[in-house]
Amino acid sequence: MGALEKRVWHGDPTGISRRDRQPGEYQCFIPDKIYGRQFSLDGGVSTDVVAAESAMVRFNTEASSLVNTEALSRILLRAESVASSKIEGLVVGAQRILRAEVNSGLDGSASDITAMEVLAGIQAMVYGLEQVHQGAPITLELILSIHERLLAGTPLSAYGGKMREEQNWIGGSDFNPCTADFVPPPWELVRELMEDLVAFCNTDDLPAIVQAAIAHAQFETIHPFIDGNGRAGRILIQMILKRRGLATRVLPPVSLILATWAKDYVAGLTATRFVGDVNSSEAVTGMNIWIGRFATACSRSIVDAMNFEARARAIENNWRLKLGSVRKKSSVDLLLQKLVGVPVLTVKSASNLCGTSLMATNSAIAELLDAGILRQINRGARNRTFEAPEIIDAFSDLERQLASPEGDTRHSKPARNIPGLRAAKSGVVKS
């Protein structure tokens, strides 16, 4: 039974205003556990779920005929991670993230801090998906490892992979939860609730779309970490879809749609937080609202992914027309296939990607430069960096579908007595 528990906030002497410094009362939400719980779907939601699962299965089944499954998967994973980060206020454009990725590979430097934080999200998602296989268990240790990678290199890295031991909240004041929009359960209940969530993630009795929707909502309700809850919770979606065999080859960029529907996304999550009997008609209706919206977002994400694939395939076909005859499995042929997924590269990174020698790769890049397919984006002969502008434009068009930074104004606020937190936030508090 979901319940609100009244607690007392003892005040924060570092608060700017008198109101922030004063003690007060707040109510934290304690959700009902979900492992072993029965969930009822109404007819319309069931139809939406079946449509979403069918589209996802078809998309992954047909992936072998796409322009390049590996390349498409790589670019959609970036789009998913960029969208997830954008929901939390980390606004980074397609070109910026691609350039930051190749620059970090040159010398490991992090000149673009925001882009590097988004890259950490990409790496965390890659890691999580690599660890999950169809039918394999999702563990609490894996979720903690993913979170550790999310916060790596940030001012809050010391809290990566550790469940919170403070009260956090969403909305309201930066200094106390008394006026918050939502206060998650107290920290001492977090481990128990997370263990219940993990047990639920490893069941197979619900449709995968329904399971992913419920698990994500419960994760965001628990809000187990000081920071990065939204991104970690959206990685969990993809892990469940892969574990259940729906997204084994190409992931659906669900966060792209959730970012676009930011207000409905938040309202859907809120609808699952019912106080009282979870089997009441009101509670069942609230859960159906969220599952229906999530299923619709999944279906829409497949449409966007297929549209991007069609555009990428047309771009690659046009490149080959420009070049005339391209020998199969030549350095040029291999590079053209990889460019869709890696449109910013160096000679060395392209060589590693294609498995060709530096000399052969350099020759292939020169040919693509002459044809106008690639362009050099820095000066000099050392660490030359190249990009394929047509693919970046296509990626940017995909990225433009994301919500604006103003689209989601609800932010998570941990307690302000955590060292380094004020500097880390820079005026934006992320979930």
Residues 288 and 371 in one domain: no
**CA 282, CA 407: separation in Å to the nearest integer?**
27
Q: What pLDDT score does 47 carry? A: 97
- Mind listing the pLDDT tens digit of every residue in the chain (431 residues)? 799 999 999 877 776 677 667 789 999 999 999 999 999 999 999 999 999 999 999 888 876 555 556 667 667 776 776 666 666 665 666 666 666 667 665 554 555 666 677 777 788 888 999 999 998 999 999 999 999 999 988 888 999 999 999 999 998 888 889 999 999 999 999 999 999 999 999 999 999 999 999 999 999 999 999 999 988 999 999 999 999 999 888 888 888 788 778 889 999 999 999 999 999 999 999 999 999 999 999 999 888 888 888 888 889 999 999 999 899 999 999 999 888 888 889 999 899 989 999 999 999 999 999 999 999 988 766 778 999 999 888 877 776 654 433 333 334 455 444 433 323 222 223 33
Residues 362 and 288 in one domain: no
Q: What pLDDT score does 89 carry? A: 61
CA atoms within 13 A on the CB side of 254: 29
DSSP-derived 3-state class of residue 201: helix
Query: What is the token pair recorded at 89?
Result: 């206020």
Residues 286 and 205 in one domain: yes
**CA 413, CA 32: separation in Å to the nearest integer?**
23
Q: Which of 283, 308, 333 is the last residue of a domain?
A: 308
**CA 273, CA 419: separation in Å to the nearest integer?**
31
Residues 329 and 294 in one domain: no
Q: What pLDDT score does 100 carry? A: 67
Compute the radius of gyration of the chain from its Cα atoms: 23
**CA 41, CA 13: separation in Å to the nearest integer?**
48
In a domain, 94, yes or no: yes
Q: Which of 242, 275, 308 is the last residue of a domain?
A: 308
The domain in which residue 217 lies consists of 3-308
Residues 76 and 210 in one domain: yes
Is 309 buried (19+), middle (13-18) or exposed (0-12) by CB count in 10 A?
buried
Q: What pLDDT score does 402 carry? A: 43
| CB proximity list for 352: less than 8 A, separation 6 or greater | none
**CA 9, CA 194: separation in Å to the nearest integer?**
25
Decide: 98 and 395 in contact? Cβ < 8 Å: yes
In a domain, 72, yes or no: yes
Residues 363 and 295 in one domain: no
Query: What is the token pair recorded at 386?
Result: 């190249």
Q: What pLDDT score does 424 carry? A: 29
In a domain, 403, yes or no: no
Q: Which of 273, 308, 343 is the last residue of a domain?
A: 308
Domain count across the chain: 2
Residues 202 and 259 in one domain: yes
Query: What is the token pair recorded at 298?
Result: 């999944």
The DSSP secondary structure of 239-262, one letter per residue, reads HHHHHTTSSSSS---HHHHHHHTH
Q: What pLDDT score does 20 carry? A: 66
CATH number at residue 352: 1.10.10.10
Residues 330 and 303 in one domain: no
